[in-house]
């Protein structure tokens, strides 16, 4: 099947599925980080998700790193971004489940955030280890 295989040079330059996924996650995280304070004010929850300015900064930073990883040097760092931030987004809900009061007060994590971050971790790790 022509075009179905990924060449060695494509993997080395980061082109392909991981690059696309890193750009998508990066764009979504960036938008969430920008829109959080605009739509939610200082510390108001958005829908069912907790948030504060620090939470928004974390999403903005996660997004900008994802956009950079997907775009810089042809997406060479896309796989590392997906794996690294997959681990981060896995640790955050596990810590949130284990120490709910600490993270709830620090970066406004609630149970809905913990579940969403766990789902995001699975998606990031799956893309980081399973694609390309």
Q: Which neighbouring-strand residues pair with 49?
A: 46
Q: Is residue 19 part of a domain?
A: yes
Residue 101 lies in domain: 12-130
Q: Is residue 58 part of a domain?
A: yes
Q: Is residue 1 part of a domain?
A: no
Q: Is the whole model's pTM more than 0.75, yes or no? A: yes
Q: What's the distance, CA 108 to chain centroid?
A: 17
Q: Is residue 33 part of a domain?
A: yes
Q: Is residue 4 part of a domain?
A: no
Q: Which neighbouring-strand residues pair with 46?
A: 49
Q: What is the pLDDT of residues 54-93, one digit of tens each?
A: 989 999 999 999 999 999 988 899 999 999 999 999 999 9
Total domains in the fold of the chain: 1
Determine the 3-state secondary structure of 5 from DSSP.
coil
Asked if residues 131 and 17 have their Cβ atoms less than 8 Å apart, the reply is: yes
Q: Is residue 6 part of a domain?
A: no
Percent of the chain with pLDDT over 70: 84
Comparing 11 with 61, which gets the higher pLDDT? 61
């Amino acid at each position: 099947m022509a075009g179905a295989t990924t060449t060695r040079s494509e993997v080395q330059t980061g082109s392909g599925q991981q690059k696309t996924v890193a750009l998508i996650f990066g764009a979504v995280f960036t938008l969430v980080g920008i829109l959080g304070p605009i739509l939610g004010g200082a510390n108001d929850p958005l829908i069912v998700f907790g948030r504060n300015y620090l939470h928004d900064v974390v999403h903005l930073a996660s997004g900008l790193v994802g956009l950079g990883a997907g775009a810089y040097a042809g997406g060479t760092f896309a796989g590392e971004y997906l794996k690294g931030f997959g681990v981060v987004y896995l640790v955050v809900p596990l810590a949130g489940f284990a120490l709910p009061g600490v993270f709830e007060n620090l970066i406004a994590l609630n149970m809905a955030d913990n579940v969403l971050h766990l789902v995001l971790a699975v998606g990031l790790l799956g893309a980081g280890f399973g694609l390309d």
